[in-house]
Amino acid sequence: MGQHTDWMGSSSVVGLPAMRAISIFENLNGIPLRGLIRREAISRVGPIRKTDYESAFEEYVWIGKLAREGNLQYVEGPIYFKRARGDSTHAKWHSKDRLWRRAVWLEFGLGMLETIWPLVPEPERLTALCTVLDRLCLPKEGRFFFYDGPVITFASDFILKALERFPIPSLELAITNVQSDSFAGGLAGELLDQAIHFSKYRSEVSAKEQNTFRFRAGDGGIDLLLDGWSVAETWGTWSDGLRAGLRLPVGTQRGLWKAIVTFQAFGKKGSAPVEITMPSSSQLTTWRVATNQVVQKELCVESQSTDIPLRFAFPEAISPIELGLSNDRRCLGIGLISIDLTAPA
């Protein structure tokens, strides 16, 4: 009722405990939440988890845990009427920014792993992690993704967060260079190899006092780009749209980092504004820079042992076709060339 008039049905969820839980995560099936649930099952799985992100998607983690405890049986006849409000908490989640949704999706993945972990014998724990990684990152027919940004950086963040809670010795050894196993060929194995490579790269970068990240096609800096960027070119990467996101890899050392950003602003002859904010701060930094020429600007960011996401806004972004320069319809803000990052002294 309300904004939707859909009829939704659900088949029974039966089989082995781990497969029942994975079925919930695969389909994001919330219908069992409206059924009759045995009190002893609720006692075993505990309450819905509270997170820093309004517990978004935690109902699915909870239903997955219920499915782990027993079959979810479809019953003919009963109907549950749900009122769908446009201003409901659930509806508002989808209007949140991409970094918020990224954090939700990562925490949801950790909830998936927490659900199936008690069911997995030690030799199969890497497979359990890859099962979650596959669901979070790899498109398949019928899958819904709450966050669909760059997968390698996300996968790297996920495995590092997962290892803080769930020990997998073979993966820990691979990340720390003690052994160089390749996981390609298994479920999500190629993505896991790429994520491990990126994690090593990020550790090597953070160990240096100063690092330069370039954003040409094939450069390592490409993996730091979040949403709002076009395809990398031989000189760098254009933003495409009014907003874009970028992650500064400063997570291994607390303190004040300095970033020198080299870029060019696109637009009419004269100057254009570039706005920068960090989700952890309400402070807005605005650069007014000359258009169509390479400039450098300095940022100082405070690391709390986590990477720093930057949000760019380009209020006067415009396409080349609007300026009569070419048939390019992309809405260009800045062309990102490089970032020089200096660690705290």
Summarised one tens digit per residue, pLDDT across range 133-186 is 999 999 999 899 998 877 888 898 899 999 999 999 989 888 887 666 678 888
CA angle centred on 35, ends 32 and 38, rounded to 5° = 100
Question: In this predicted model, what pLDDT tens digit does every residue of 33-78 receive, in sequence order?
Answer: 888 899 999 999 999 999 989 999 999 999 999 999 999 999 888 7
Q: Report the run of H or E that residue 274 belongs to, with start and end.
A: strand 271-277
CA distance 40 to 255: 49
Q: How far from 37 is each of 12, 44, 45, 152, 206, CA to CA, in Å?
A: 14, 12, 12, 39, 49
Q: Average pLDDT by consecutive 10-residue portion of the chain (345 residues)?
A: 77 94 92 89 94 93 95 87 83 80 93 96 94 95 87 89 92 78 85 86 65 87 87 95 90 84 96 88 86 95 80 96 95 96 87
CB atoms inside a 10 Å sphere around CB 62: 23
- What's the distance, Cα to Cα, between the start and end of the chain in Å? 59
**Residue 281 pLDDT:** 65
**Residue 177 pLDDT:** 74
CA distance 70 to 87: 34
97 contact partners, CB below 8 Å, separation of at least 6: 279, 311
**Residue 252 pLDDT:** 67
Q: What is the DSSP letter of 15?
A: S
**Residue 63 pLDDT:** 96
**Residue 202 pLDDT:** 66
**Residue 91 pLDDT:** 84
Q: Kindly report, as residue ranges, where domains of CATH 2.60.120.260 are found in the chain.
A: 209-342
**Residue 208 pLDDT:** 62
CA distance 205 to 30: 42
Task: Kindly report the CATH number that applies to the domain delimited by 209-342.
Answer: 2.60.120.260
Alpha helices in the chain (DSSP H): 17-27, 39-45, 58-69, 89-93, 98-116, 125-137, 151-165, 169-175, 189-207
